[in-house]
Amino acid sequence: MNMQALMQQAQKMQKDMAKKQEEINSTVYAGTSELVDVEVYGTKKIKKINIKNKDNFDAEDVEILEDMIKIAMNDAFSKVDKDVESKMGSYGKQLGGLL
């Protein structure tokens, strides 16, 4: 393979990676727990938090609610990471694990 073809292949790969990253960043991922639903963008910025059954909470329930939010957020972020690996992992393999 000549150097020009290699450079063209690298440029195409770079464009493909940028497109995939843009797709991931604009995707909304949902996380859920028993009491909370959350939505985050692929950038891991929170879009929405919805507390279910709001009438059922007393002030003492705040600690439990915080734990449920953490569970839901971690679930959503885990989905982001899996999607990134799924969509971007093939590029890392092509580059010998550099990504």
> What is the tens place of the pLDDT at every residue in 55-93?
777 867 877 887 888 899 889 988 988 888 888 877 666
pLDDT reported for residue 23? 94
Q: What are phi and psi of 53, to 5 degrees?
A: 50, 55
The pTM for the full model equals 0.62
| Four-point Cα dihedral 80, 13, 15, 7, nearest 10 | 150
Q: Which residue has the tokens 């799924």?
A: 86
Q: Which domains does the chain have, with CATH numbers?
A: 26-88 (3.30.1310.10)
pLDDT reported for residue 93? 61
